[in-house]
Amino acid sequence: MTNNISTTLTFSMRMQEETIRVARQLFVAQFPTEDFDADVWDMRSLIYRPGIVRVRRLHFMRLNIPDSPLPKQYAQLIKSWIVLDGKSLADRYVKLRLGCFFWEVLLQRRLDKAEDVLWERLTLEDLCQTEAVLLTTTSATTAYKLGTRLKTFADFLATRRICPFLHFTLQIPNTATQQRHISQEREGIPTHLPTYKALEALADVYHLHAKEPQDRLRIAALALLVVSGFRAGELLTLPFECEVEEMYRGKTRYGLRYYREKSRGGHQMLAIRWLTSIGAELAQKAV
């Protein structure tokens, strides 16, 4: 029995070392000026819309103890997860935050004995207790975001045979904004969409009242928001050459090229928002 446990520990450690080695190589290729082992990573190279993304650096510190770094071996595995499963900068930040919560739960459950935190001995109860902590210490939306990363991290470790498969099922409900809006509509609560009167008033301002250059600029921006459905950040980051025209099924169609505020992987991606004929006419004047 002792030999089996020893073999499991040794194999898990080898898999951890291999995972960290691969992540370290990828990190150097992605961030040649950064140090994988540093307690703080400068992630500003991932930012392509400075006015929107607030995260600048990732601090691998203990939760609510800013001067105390996470243990090196633990931090290296969290870093490897962030690098190998890296998406947007915001996603990397949420992963790190989950890692900080997870460490405190693991440490508490092992009576503050850091040497007893072994991945090969990770249990389903560790995950469930972490989920409970998230529910009691963060908002419902934040708890769901962190909870999904908790499951992702457990799967990340298990698929690399660092810890056993634990078949963890997240119990935190998803309270996404869209679902809240649907519930509000069912209950008769007004939504945030503009009324017809508001749109008519904007049309009057556009055609009759906005005369000064600064007023024309503001009302043109509002007109683009109405006809395109852009997010505010997408409107503010429109490229200089944003207008697109092409032939489609024998007809000319018009669209606006823009940077997607939410894109898979968090990379800078250009897309085209095609407009109806009426929307195109108004957008051309506004641009």
pLDDT tens digits along 239-255: 888 888 888 778 888 88
Q: Which pLDDT value is given to residue 179?
A: 56
The residue from 117, 149, 179 where one domain ends is 179
Say if residue 178 is exposed, middle or buried (CB neighbours under 10 Å; 0-12, 13-18, 19+).
exposed
**Residues 102 and 223 occupy one common structural domain:** no
Paired tokens of 235: 């409107």
**Residue 259: is its pLDDT beyond 50?**
yes
Residue of higher predicted confidence among 6 and 40: 40
**Residues 174 and 215 occupy one common structural domain:** no
Number of domains in the chain: 2
Q: Which pLDDT value is given to residue 71?
A: 94
| Bridge partner list, 281 | none
Mean pLDDT computed over 56-83: 93
For residue 106, tell me if it sits in a domain.
yes
- State residue 200 phi and psi, 5-degree precision: -65, -40
Q: Which pLDDT value is given to residue 3?
A: 47
- Kindly report which listed range (136-150, 179-193, 215-229) carries the lowest average pLDDT score: 179-193
Among 172, 113, 167, 162, smallest CA distance to 13 is for 162
CB 266 within 8 A of CB 46: yes
**Residues 136 and 277 occupy one common structural domain:** no
Q: pLDDT tens across 134-173, in order?
A: 999 999 889 999 999 999 999 999 999 999 999 899 998 8
- CA distances to 153, 163, 166 from 123, rounded to whole Å, are 13, 9, 7
**Residues 155 and 203 occupy one common structural domain:** no
3-state DSSP percent of the chain in helix, strand and coil, to 5? 55, 10, 30
Q: Which pLDDT value is given to residue 263?
A: 61
**Residues 11 and 140 occupy one common structural domain:** yes
CB 287 within 8 A of CB 216: no
Q: Which pLDDT value is given to residue 130?
A: 96
CB 229 within 8 A of CB 273: yes
| Mean per-residue pLDDT of the chain | 83
**Residue 188: is its pLDDT beyond 60?**
no
The residue from 130, 153, 179 where one domain ends is 179
Residue of higher predicted confidence among 266 and 28: 28
**Residue 1: is its pLDDT beyond 50?**
no
**Residues 43 and 108 occupy one common structural domain:** yes
Q: Which domain holds residue 223?
A: 196-286
**Residue 80: is its pLDDT beyond 90?**
yes
Question: 């869209």: which residue's tokens?
Answer: 178
HEC profile for 153-179?
HHHHHHHCCCCCCCCCCCCCCCCCHHH
Paired tokens of 214: 């600064």
Highest mean pLDDT among 1-10, 86-95, 127-136, 192-201: 127-136
**Residues 65 and 139 occupy one common structural domain:** yes
